Amino acid sequence: MKFIDLDKTESFAALQALFPVELRTILNEQRIRSSQIPLGGDLIYNYSAMPVEEEHLKVLCDLAEEQEVIEKYKELLSGQVMNPGENRLVLHQLTRKNALKDNIVIADSTDKEAFYSQQLEKVYEFASKVREKKIVGSTGKPFTTVVQIGIGGSDLGPRAMYLAMEGWAQGEGIETIDARFISNVDPDDAKQVLQDADIESTLFILVSKSGTTQETLTNFELVKKTMEEKRIAGFDSSRHLVAVTSNTSPLASSDDVMDAFYIDDYIGGRYSSTSAVGALVLSLAFGKEVVSQFLEGAHEADIRALETDPLKNGALLDALIGVYLRNVLNMPTTAILPYSQALSRFPAHLQQLDMESNGKSVNREGKSIHYPTGPIIFGEPGTNGQHSFYQLLHQGTDSIPLQFIGFKENQRKYDIETEGSTSQDKLLANLIAQIVAFALGKEDENGNKRFSGNRFSSLIYGSRLTPKNLGALLAHYENKVMFQGFIWNINSFDQEGVQLGKVLAKKVLSGAQGDTILRSFMKILL
């Protein structure tokens, strides 16, 4: 297995030599219909409005082969060390079953897939007992609210997944438990969640792999203090607290929690939504069957990502086109634009997933690289974004690649018809109009009304945002980020960039220890 910097490959030089594409000359019905790849569930990736033709696709396929991306994916799935910075395996796909059939991954003398499966079954059993009111609060009240306390990957992914499934569950008439999230160490965040909560019927999930995360433990203490201040007769806080942590952390054996569910160092926080980190809160909120469908969709996308032909592998082609945009067309930003209110927090999750994974300036050996890597990610649901930053997207001086996400049906099975069309029809009409407007633009003698067009976009769409489609969507992006990391020859699975600030924050809290710059800022803020 060879690891080569992108600018050392023959394929990249060939890619740089290709001509730019003018969408007005190539976008037509046949291209729109043929530029499609299934992703998992019933999701489809459509790249017809991206600046690639047969010549580009051939060279991109050559690049994928030269960088051995599928072989590296198989190595990752088989349990090889793919996080060299921390000398760790990368096993988040195992939390939804190994995509390599009959493959067993052994680490720490443990069958890791069996370990994750056991933890998932433990999650399902606990959640079922809570939902069936066999496990209740310390004063006898059933749990009607669950609050997850965590930060980063312990919050962004699970929160985005919960919001994405909430409307579907209501549309299907599924009995739900309300889920809320506390992440920011800012006490106003916790206070807002707790101020109207019935503590007697609230279950708290404390998520910290190490059991030492400063922000999370601070919020944990704030929650315990809130419980104590209620002075409820017979109330026992430990019967309202569970932990998701490693089996070696202080929380694993703490008397403060009634049960613990385990993860390990082979699951990165931003990749943990399909582990106990996400599965517990989602199983409590929606039930085992819903989470099983979610994991099934992710597993299906993982299997599809093994396809060696990039023109049949949506995650890989999405990654390759992204490399072309970033490294040849020099576009540093990508907008994720879901035309689904249920995905309101999905762009925030993708910010962490992509930017924490591929925001690197050294290769896998720690040596400096001399080409751009991960793009800046931002986004907002349509049609809200149209009345916000789309002005810059259409007529600004920077051309920003776009990825739209849309669904033919809404989640809640509720709609109205006005002026001959439903609200969902209007939503999709806006989505279609934006793709075409960005691609083709508009000529006008008045410069203020002129749209240059040739602004590139892709589309991921499906019938409805179901749990299975959500799982496939999540895994698509996880695998896209992974493939881009392989192509750039960087480590997508460590995050040293988050550590320095943590170290300095502890130094500030201990008095700055003679650091005059820190003390200067302390004088104006603390």
Cα–Cα distance measured from residue 177 to residue 143, given in angstroms and rounded to the nearest whole number: 8
Residue 255: count other Cβ atoms within 10 Å of its Cβ. 6
* Burial label, 4 (beta-carbon count in 10 A; 0-12, 13-18, 19+): middle
- E-state strands within 286-340: 333-339
In the block, residue with structure tokens 């569950």: 169
What is the DSSP annotation of 241-299?
A: EEEEE-TTSGGGG-TT-SEEEE--TTS-GGG-TTSHHHHHHHHHHH-HHHHHHHHHHHH
Which candidate, 280, 285, 239, 283, places its Cα nearest to that of 263?
280
In the block, residue with structure tokens 């650091």: 515
Residue 357 neighbours by CB under 8 Å, 6+ apart? 270, 374, 481, 482, 485, 492, 493, 495
For residue 258, the cross-strand partners are none
Which residues are marked as active site? Answer: 356, 387, 502
Residue 409 neighbours by CB under 8 Å, 6+ apart? 424, 463, 464
Q: Which two tokens stand for residue 197?
A: 């909560």
What is the chain's length? Answer: 526
* Burial label, 115 (beta-carbon count in 10 A; 0-12, 13-18, 19+): buried
Asked if 393 and 400 count as a contact pair (C-beta separation under 8 A), the reply is: yes
Asked if 147 and 114 count as a contact pair (C-beta separation under 8 A), the reply is: no
Element (H, E) at 332: none
* Peptide bond before residue 383 is cis, with ω within 30 degrees of 0: yes
Half-sphere exposure of 93 (CA within 13 A, CB side): 31
Cα–Cα distance measured from residue 5 to residue 64, given in angstroms and rounded to the nearest whole number: 13
Backbone angles phi, psi at 45, to 5 degrees: -100, 120
Helix ranges (DSSP H) in 334-414: 346-358, 390-395
Element (H, E) at 422: strand 421-422
